[in-house]
Amino acid sequence: MLDRSHNAPELPPEIARRRTFAIISHPDAGKTTLTEKFLLYGGAIQMAGQVRAKGEARRTRSDFMQMEKDRGISVSASAMSFDFHNYRFNLVDTPGHSDFSEDTYRTLTAVDAAIMVIDGAKGVESQTQKLFEVCRMRDLPILTFCNKMDRESRDTLDIIDEIQENLAIDVTPASWPIGVGRDFLGCYDVLNDRLELMDRADRNKVAESIKIEGLDDPKLAEHVPEHLLEQLKEGLEMARELLPPFDRQAFLDGTLTPIWFGSAINSFGVQELMDGMAKYGPEPQPQKATPRPISPEEKKVMGYVFKVQANMDPKHRDRVAFVRLAAGHFKRGMKLTHVRSKKPMSISNPVLFLASDRELAEEAWAGDIIGIPNHGQLRIGDTLTEGEDIRVTGIPSFAPELLQGVRAGDPMKAKHLEKALMQFAEEGAAKVFKPAIGSGFIVGVVGALQFEVLASRIELEYGLPVRFDASQFTSARWVTGPRLELDKFINANKQHISYDHDGDPVFLTRLQWDIDRIERDYPELTLSATKEMMV
């Protein structure tokens, strides 16, 4: 992320009140439940659907794919916009499952901050660590929410130690838990000197706040049993000696994370976390682009596509491009230049999302995320501007880790299969490679669960049963270099060559030895495991 310098021009109030952030975590840490409660407090929904509830109550608002509803996991990042106090929150819920991490990596290019959710009993898990590293690469400010404190949890200082050690970031307590598991009463709000008490009877009720004057206030003893009060004072005293105080600049630089404790399912600690995002979270930030960075206060509208979702509405074969506005004040009906094709596009039906519900967006500002329905013109990495030839950079595409052949159950429907695969390739849901020799396609994904999701979506959305078969190849590398060298290489290695959906050559490998051989025999060529989706 590019730093807004201290003497940067003031942002227009409409832009300054926006907070665009993602929620990241290991699967099952409670991320989707937390998202639900954010929507509840933002007044965007009347009742939160619990992921573990039965039947209709289980249909959480941010999961719209049939498979997500059936399994209770999020496999596709979804965006939601809602107001909270005087702020406009643009929240992006991301898949926690590692098989869908590529979607999450790309989503993190479209936000200015992240909320990291960890489970109080499990602490920092592997997927959390991976996602945190992506945030670190982008210097994203991170707020941490330690969830499930109403269950048996680890010692508070242990959890903080583990975050500091595994993620190499300073931690400062924004709140401190009072008791754990069955004894969990609530938290002491360190930033505002308040006592927050949890109501176990009503899960959707906002916690009761009691204003107190520091830890010596006699009022504390009226609400907290003596042994827990003792523990609280002891714990906070140690924390104040061992941990740094909250410093907004260190937080914005990505070197310090404030941590809140709570229980999302009981709606506890959520409002304090939202207040923290509103008060301390970053305003919309400048975006890296070539030939120059884009600043949010610029008058002319610019935005970029970080995600494409096909068939969000199964009744209409639509494709929605998720666009993060990087600058300006967008109005419905505007004509924007599609930089890759140099063609003007009239944006007549832009939408704002509330999970699977959407409404027409009459206007939007830098920092907002809008959806543009289209028929395949827009791809991940595309930039839209009011005429300027500028391209947003840094949106990654990763080499797949698993490759399989695919064929239609009905050989007569091979053409339909090609159309479905191309749509998923443009959406970024899978890599689709057309071998230079022979027929058929090879599909590449990051995690095995993606094959299941693809098969189920192709059948549901296109009425086309498909089979995935084992492939002799184990990895793929994009090949770039001087034209003559490239042609020579392609002709000599035809049986390993495929083309991706952009028509770029890809070298499919069976062993690491294949890669070593090419690097040795063709020093002018570059084999790459990532391809920047800047087109």
Which helix (DSSP H) or strand (DSSP E) does residue 78 occupy? strand 78-84
Residue 79 to residue 62: CA distance in whole angstroms: 8
Task: Yes or no: say if 124 and 164 are a contact pair by the CB < 8 Å rule.
Answer: no
Of 388, 384, 380, 390, the residue nearest 423 (C-alpha): 380
Question: Is the pLDDT assigned to residue 287 strictly greater than 60?
Answer: yes
The one-letter amino acid at 330: F
Ligand-binding annotation for 150, yes or no, is: yes
Of 266, 294, 132, 286, the residue nearest 208 (C-alpha): 266
Ligand-binding annotation for 31, yes or no, is: yes
Question: Is the pLDDT assigned to residue 36 strictly greater than 60?
Answer: yes
pLDDT band at 48 (very low <50, low <70, confident <90, very high): very low
pLDDT band at 73 (very low <50, low <70, confident <90, very high): very low
Ligand-binding annotation for 94, yes or no, is: yes
Question: Is the pLDDT assigned to residue 218 strictly greater than 90?
Answer: no
Q: What is the chain's mean pLDDT, rounded?
A: 82
Ligand-binding annotation for 149, yes or no, is: yes
Per-residue pLDDT at 262? 92
Question: Is the pLDDT assigned to residue 268 strictly greater than 50?
Answer: yes
Residue 410 to residue 125: CA distance in whole angstroms: 43
Per-residue pLDDT at 101? 57
Per-residue pLDDT at 152? 86
pLDDT band at 63 (very low <50, low <70, confident <90, very high): very low
Residue 451 to residue 442: CA distance in whole angstroms: 12
Task: Yes or no: say if 84 and 275 are a contact pair by the CB < 8 Å rule.
Answer: no
Ligand-binding annotation for 375, yes or no, is: no
Per-residue pLDDT at 17? 95
Of 52, 148, 45, 31, the residue nearest 100 (C-alpha): 31
Ligand-binding annotation for 96, yes or no, is: yes
Q: Which residues contact 458 (CB under 8 A, 6 or more apart)?
A: 417, 420, 424, 464, 465, 466
pLDDT band at 360 (very low <50, low <70, confident <90, very high): confident
Per-residue pLDDT at 293? 93
- How many angstroms from the chain centroid is the CA of residue 277? 16
Higher-pLDDT residue of 316 and 199 is: 199
Question: Is the pLDDT assigned to residue 477 strictly greater than 60?
Answer: yes
Ligand-binding annotation for 175, yes or no, is: no
In this structure, of 452-461, 471-480, 512-521, the range with the lowest mean pLDDT score is: 452-461
pLDDT tens, 102-140?
Answer: 677 778 889 999 999 998 888 887 767 777 777 877 789
Question: Is the pLDDT assigned to residue 396 strictly greater than 60?
Answer: yes
Per-residue pLDDT at 212? 76
pLDDT tens, 320-349?
Answer: 888 999 999 999 999 999 999 999 999 999
pLDDT tens, 399-454?
Answer: 777 889 888 888 788 888 888 888 878 777 788 999 998 878 999 887 777 788 78
Average the pLDDT over 485-491 and give the result.
93
| Residue burial 367-400, b: 16+ Cβ < 10 Å; e: rest | bbbbbbbbeeebbbbbbbbbebebbbbbbbbbbb
Average the pLDDT over 188-207 and give the result.
76
Per-residue pLDDT at 314? 56
Higher-pLDDT residue of 48 and 199 is: 199
Backbone angle region of 238, left / alpha / beta, with phi > 0 → left and psi within -120 to 50 → alpha: alpha
Ligand-binding annotation for 29, yes or no, is: yes
In this structure, of 98-112, 197-211, 298-312, 500-514, the range with the lowest mean pLDDT score is: 197-211
Average the pLDDT over 271-295 and give the result.
94
Residue 529 to residue 18: CA distance in whole angstroms: 35
- State the DSSP string of 104-129: HHHHGGG-SEEEEEEETTTBS-HHHH
Residue 341 to residue 103: CA distance in whole angstroms: 24
Residue 129 to residue 116: CA distance in whole angstroms: 10
Question: Is the pLDDT assigned to residue 60 strictly greater than 70?
Answer: no
- Domains of the chain, earliest start first: 13-280 (3.40.50.300), 289-392 (3.40.50.300), 399-532 (3.30.70.3280)
Rg, C-alpha atoms of the chain: 25
Per-residue pLDDT at 215? 78
Ligand-binding annotation for 93, yes or no, is: yes
Per-residue pLDDT at 132? 79
The pTM of this model reads 0.76
Average the pLDDT over 308-323 and give the result.
70
Question: Is the pLDDT assigned to residue 45 strictly greater than 60?
Answer: no
